[in-house]
Amino acid sequence: MKSMTVFIIDDDMGLRSSLALLLETDKLQSASFASADAFLAACGPNPQGCLILDVRMPGMSGLQLQDELALRHIQLPIIFLTAFADIPMTVGAIRKGALDLITKPVNGAVLLARVHSALETNRLQREASAARALFEARLLKLTQREREVLVLALSSMPNKTISSELGISVRTIEGHRSHIFLKLDIDSLVELAQQAASVGMPLSDIAALPRK
C-alpha cells in the first residue's frame, strides 16, 4: 500500500487541498490535479493506487476520463465525487467499473473507508494481472503446433479427432502432449484448465496468443 498513490482530480482547488490533508492524516500518499488532461500528462502507463475523481470539470469530464483510462488499459479504481448525482449517471459509472459515487459535501470517514477499499482492489488487480502474465509466458514456451494441439485437447477433442483435424498422426499428437506437459510442468489437462481459470484466461485467449 505504501507505494500506492491516491490521485485527486478536481477543478476546485480548495477541495483538492482539503482532501489531500484528509489523506495525509491517514498516512496516505496523494497527488492532486486540476484537470483530467493534467493527470493524463503526468500519470505514466502504469500508475498504482486509485482515483478520487470529480464528475463535472472544464474540458474532459470525469466520466470521459474513465473511458480514456479503459482505452489505455490503465487499471485504477475510481471513486467519483459529484454535487449533481442522478441515477443514470451513477448506474453508468458503476457499470463501467467505478468503485463508488459519493455526493458532495464529502463525509471524511466514509471517503477514507472507500479509499482503503479502492487501494486493496488495485492491489488485487495487480496481483491478478501479474499471475496472468506469468501464465501467458509459460504458454508462449510452446511451439505453434503444440499450442494448436493444446487448444483442441482443452476443448475435449480426443487424439484421433485432433489427428484428423491437423492432418498428423495420433502418435505425433501424443508426442506433442508429452512435450506440453513437460514444458508447462503439469500432470493433466484438467490441471492446466484449472490454472487458466484461476488467472481468468479462457480458451479463446489461449488460441489468440501471438504466433511464434
Angle of helix 108-139 relative to helix 13-25, nearest 10 degrees? 80
SS3 state at 9: strand
- Is the C-alpha dihedral spanning 139, 140, 146, 148 positive or negative? positive
SS3 state at 5: strand
Residue 1: pLDDT over 50: no
SS3 state at 103: strand
40 and 62 Cβ atoms separated by less than 8 Å: no
Q: Please state the rounded mean pLDDT for residues 97-119.
A: 92
Instruction: Give pairs for 91-96: CB < 8 Å, separation 24+.
Output: 92/63, 93/55, 93/63, 93/66, 96/66, 96/67, 96/70
Domains of the chain in start order, with CATH, are: 5-132 (3.40.50.2300), 140-207 (1.10.10.10)
Sorting pLDDT into bands at 50, 70 and 90, what band is 2?
Answer: low
pLDDT digits (tens, 9 = 90+) for 113-136: 999 999 999 999 999 999 999 999
Sorting pLDDT into bands at 50, 70 and 90, what band is 44?
Answer: confident
- List, in order, residues 6 or more apart from 163 with CB less than 8 Å away: 169, 170, 172, 173
- List, in order, residues 6 or more apart from 203 with CB less than 8 Å away: 151, 154, 155, 196
pLDDT digits (tens, 9 = 90+) for 26-41: 999 999 999 999 999 9
Question: Strands across the sheet with 30-33, in order?
Answer: 30-33, 5-9, 49-54, 78-82, 100-103
Tell me how far apart the alpha carbons of residues 178 and 137 are, in angstroms, rounded to a whole number: 19
Q: What's the pLDDT score for residue 93?
A: 81
Q: What's the pLDDT score for residue 201?
A: 93
Q: Can you give the length of the chain in residues?
A: 212
Q: What's the pLDDT score for residue 186?
A: 94
Q: Please state the rounded mean pLDDT for residues 189-194.
A: 94
pLDDT digits (tens, 9 = 90+) for 61-91: 999 999 999 999 999 999 999 887 666 777 7
Residue 97: pLDDT over 90: no
- List, in order, residues 6 or more apart from 17 with CB less than 8 Å away: 32
